[in-house]
Amino acid sequence: MAKTSARQGTAPRNYPKGERRRAQIIEAAFTAFGQVGYRNASMVQLAAACDVSRAGLLHHFPTKESLLEAVLEERERQDDAHFFGSGAVNRDGLEYFASMIRLVAHNQANPLIVSLFAVLSGEATAADHPARPYFVARYERTRRQMQLAVDDLVRRDLLRPHVDASGLAADLIAFIDGLQIQWLLSPDAIDMPDHLRKLLRGLISIELP
């Protein structure tokens, strides 16, 4: 679920050279992992993609696992900074779900983001996948944050009468993730932010900002 610069990981020109190179490597890995998955992207291929030697790549990221971790952390950092920058957003149910729609719209304009998440989260269901701990923690964190937003709507009597708030966060995450898969397969047939807004309109009694 998945959100910034149009090119993920691109560093400003005024970054020190080492930081620029690190950001370029993360960007190249972001693309490779999103296209072919973690297991199929070799360090040799990643080094070639960002025009560095394998030794140069290992200088910044000693292992493939450390590079994967950096890619995932950078993606989440960008999403948080641009769509959920204030912790208060999570406690304001209306603002949280309005931000979620904006994030989904951003993802729809950047298919590599959606591809990265879909490919890696699927791979990470394997018990030995290095990204499994990240995705377990990420889903737990997202459910907790979203439930805070749902609880705020309950307190303000903004959920429609038929809506059961218990477990709603998990249901909404499942909807968004499933929508992303459908969109990857049929991008011309699915408008992700429109579908999400329509679903939320059936759950929340006032229009989101």
Distance (Å, rounded) from C-alpha 5 to C-alpha 20? 15
Residues 6+ apart with CB under 8 A from 187: 111
Query: What is the percent of the chain where pLDDT is above 70?
Result: 89
Mean pLDDT over each residue of the chain, to the nearest integer: 87
Pick from 183, 9, 8: nearest CA to 105: 183
Residues 6+ apart with CB under 8 A from 75: 2, 3, 8, 30, 113, 116, 117
Using the predicted structure, report yes or no on whether residue 46 has a pLDDT greater than 80: yes
Q: What is the pLDDT of residues 73-117, one digit of tens each?
A: 888 888 788 787 655 566 799 999 999 999 999 999 988 888 888
Distance (Å, rounded) from C-alpha 143 to C-alpha 22? 31
* Tokens encoding 149: 């937003």
Q: What is the pLDDT of residues 138-188, one digit of tens each?
A: 999 999 999 999 999 999 999 999 999 999 999 999 999 999 999 999 999
What confidence category does residue 52 fall into, taking pLDDT thresholds of 50, 70 and 90? confident
DSSP characters for 119-170? HHHHHTTSTT-TTHHHHHHHHHHHHHHHHHHHHHHHHTT-B-TT---TTHHH
Of residues 81 and 3, the one with the higher pLDDT is: 81
Query: What is the percent of the chain where pLDDT is above 90?
Result: 52
